[in-house]
């Protein structure tokens, strides 16, 4: 049986895991918090484009009334551009609010929902 050409070995696997955990390998997707409610997708895109190519920019909105939730996500063209945006915009004041800009964490699995609503139970 021939060795797997894609196997990087145990030592290299540990090294790779350490780099990922320490954040040396960074995503280009950013979380942007403490946004003024006046910010929309276009203005978010414009502010971040000063630091590189913006692949996408989205302000999260309430599904019922469409108003901003005060945070959003921006995806930059590269991890280096993402780092430049973090350095340039984290703590920057927009309409009296200091922005929070950092690497977006992966969406957590919330499960399948469930539980609530037991239905009618008569009292005896």
The pTM of the whole model exceeds 0.85: no
Cα separation, 29 vs 81, whole angstroms: 10
**CA 62 → CA 10, 18, 42, 98, 120, distances in Å?**
46, 38, 18, 22, 32
Q: How confident is the model at residue 116, as a pLDDT? A: 61
pLDDT the model gives residue 115 = 60
What integer pLDDT is reported at residue 6 of this predicted model?
A: 47
Average pLDDT, 10 consecutive residues per value, the chain (124 residues): 49 44 68 97 97 98 95 97 97 95 88 64 68
CA distance 59 to 70: 8
Say if CB 8 and CB 41 are below 8 A apart: no
Give how far Cα 111 sits from Cα of 66, 73, 104, 119, 124, Å. Answer: 26, 23, 20, 22, 35
- 3-class DSSP assignment, residue 11: helix
């Amino acid at each position: 049986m021939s060795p797997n050409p894609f196997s990087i070995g145990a030592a290299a696997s540990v090294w790779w895991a350490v780099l990922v955990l320490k954040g040396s390998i960074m995503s280009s997707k950013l979380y942007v918090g403490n946004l003024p409610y006046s910010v929309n997708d276009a203005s978010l895109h414009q502010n971040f484009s000063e630091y590189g190519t913006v692949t996408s920019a989205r302000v999260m909105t309430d599904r019922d009334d469409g108003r901003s939730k005060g945070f959003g996500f921006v995806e930059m063209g590269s991890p280096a551009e993402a780092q430049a945006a973090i350095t340039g915009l984290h703590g920057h004041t927009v309409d009296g609010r200091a922005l929070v800009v950092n690497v977006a964490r992966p969406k957590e699995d919330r499960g399948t929902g469930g539980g609530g609503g037991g239905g009618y139970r008569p009292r005896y």
